[in-house]
Amino acid sequence: MSEKNTGGLRGQAVGQTSVSTVGAEGHNLTYRGYGIGDLAEKATFEEVAYLLLYGKLPNQAELDGYKGRLKGIRDLPDALKAVLEKIPANTHPMDVMRTGCSMLGTLEPETDFGQQYDITDRLLSAFPGILCYWYRFSKDGTRISTDTGADDIAGHFLQMLNGKKPSELLQKAMNASLVLYAEHEFNASTFACRVCSATLSDFYSSITTGIGTLRGPLHGGANEAAMALLEHLDGFGSIDNARKELLNMLARKEKIMGFGHAVYKISDPRSPVIKEWAKNLAGHVGDPKRYYELSEMVEKTMWDEKKLFPNLDFYSASCYHFMGIPTALFTPIFVMSRTSGWAAHIMEQRANNKLIRPNAEYTGEKARAFVSIENR
């Protein structure tokens, strides 16, 4: 590689966006100019989705109208339910999200880009149902209703998952987590969505591209992998023994999931917010306190040993765990939220489109003569 090409497109601006930025210092995340701390504390996910899609915070009437619209389109077509029922129980739920999105795209295809706002609403409304319908059916054969009557997506999801209304605390925690996951500039999955939509492909294909890209453990899959790490460390009994194992893992040059970041170099501004939620929920719901103490030990050790900090995915893992959410559903929740950011980027790409087609630095053979098969 040339000196300029550092790999992974790090540090290179590959397009323009007005949706969000990690800030010039690389740790001041804003959505449409509003700080992530304020949004996570003061706004609901629906307000944030509206902000990302329409570029402004909704007033009360606009928010009520938007929430009403989302609430009215939660049903899943019978043909989609039939497909979900056929997906094996041991399938990774991210594959369910990808398949559900694709199937919906065959039943309600985008025939005109003018439908893009309606399709975004539909996907935001349908994804929680797609996930929970499959999850509950594959687990115990229950065909749940996706008509919960819940006022927002956070409550709707938790109600379908657990079969009962969530407590206010759980609903608030879920809401904050959806706000934190909603958008993140030119991250891998968003960039992938933009590449797909820049070919003038349809909306569902672009979102499916995002889901496939988010699935990997270096990106969205890290929240699930971080939980696996905590469970692994917990197997060593005491916090002290867990710390020894963590040091061994570092000595073996293993990646510690939920740490480090491609853009942030000193901290992830979303991490303190989700850490606070994990702390609030620790020992409160689901599991005893020890996963929180374990997480704090991992955070301190990673900083002392490697100067690496937790990203959003690290404390999201214990937070969701304390909420009683099955680990395999962690990354699909990311999809439920990030669809808002992906959609805003797809719309922005379409509004000023240019096919994304970079050059490659060729490292292969020089041009050579063709060799016929009998002479090889």
Please answer whether residues 212 and 335 qualify as being in contact, where contact means their C-beta atoms are separated by less than 8 angstroms.
no
Query: Nearest distance from residue 193's CB to ligand COA, in Å?
Result: 17
Catalytic residue among 152, 268, 313, 345: 313
Using CB under 6 A as the binding rule, whether residue 218 contacts ligand COA is answered as yes
Which region among 48-56, 160-168, 307-315, 362-370 touches ligand COA (by CB under 6 A)?
307-315
Which region among 14-22, 74-82, 115-123, 259-267 touches ligand COA (by CB under 6 A)?
259-267
Which region among 34-42, 67-75, 141-149, 254-262 touches ligand COA (by CB under 6 A)?
254-262
Query: Nearest distance from residue 373's CB to ligand COA, in Å?
Result: 42
Identified binder of ligand COA from the candidate list 100, 105, 210, 258, rule CB under 6 A? 258
Catalytic residue among 27, 92, 219, 284: 219
Encoded amino acid at 367, one letter:
A
Catalytic residue flag (residue 92): no
User: Quick one: 219 or 350, whose CB is closer to ligand COA?
Assistant: 219
Q: State the Cα–Cα distance between residues 291 and 188, nearest whole angstrom.
A: 29
Q: State the Cα–Cα distance between residues 217 and 212, nearest whole angstrom.
A: 11
Please answer whether residues 52 and 182 qualify as being in contact, where contact means their C-beta atoms are separated by less than 8 angstroms.
yes
Location of structure tokens 């692994």:
232
3-state secondary structure 321-358: HHCCCCHHHHHHHHHHHHHHHHHHHHHHHHHCCCCCCC
Catalytic residue flag (residue 321): no
Q: Distance of alpha carbon 375 from its chain centroid, rounded?
A: 52
| Whole-number Cα distances in Å, 112 to 117, 118, 119 | 11, 11, 11
Identified binder of ligand COA from the candidate list 259, 291, 334, 342, rule CB under 6 A? 259
User: How many other CB atoms are found less than 10 A from the CB of residue 345?
Assistant: 27
Query: Nearest distance from residue 260's CB to ligand COA, in Å?
Result: 2
User: Quick one: 285 or 328, whose CB is closer to ligand COA?
Assistant: 328
Site for ligand COA in 261-300 (CB under 6 A): 261-262
Query: Nearest distance from residue 18's CB to ligand COA, in Å?
Result: 22
Nearest alpha-carbon partner for 305 in 247, 218, 243, 260: 247
Using CB under 6 A as the binding rule, whether residue 224 contacts ligand COA is answered as no
Using CB under 6 A as the binding rule, whether residue 341 contacts ligand COA is answered as no
Q: State the Cα–Cα distance between residues 189 and 207, nearest whole angstrom.
A: 9
Using CB under 6 A as the binding rule, whether residue 144 contacts ligand COA is answered as no
Nearest alpha-carbon partner for 154 in 138, 136, 135, 167: 167
- Residue at shortest CB range from ligand COA: 260
Identified binder of ligand COA from the candidate list 125, 197, 271, 311, rule CB under 6 A? 311
Which region among 161-169, 192-200, 251-259, 368-376 touches ligand COA (by CB under 6 A)?
251-259
Query: Nearest distance from residue 254's CB to ligand COA, in Å?
Result: 7
User: How many other CB atoms are found less than 10 A from the CB of residue 188?
Assistant: 18
Q: Is 257 left (phi over 0), alpha (psi -120 to 50) or beta?
A: beta
Question: Per-residue b/e over 213-237, b at no fewer than 16 CB within 10 Å?
Answer: bbbebebbbbbbbbbebbeebeebe
Identified binder of ligand COA from the candidate list 47, 183, 299, 313, rule CB under 6 A? 313
**Residues identified as active-site:** 219, 261, 313
Binding residues (CB under 6 A) for ligand COA: these are 8, 218-219, 222, 255-262, 306, 308, 311, 313
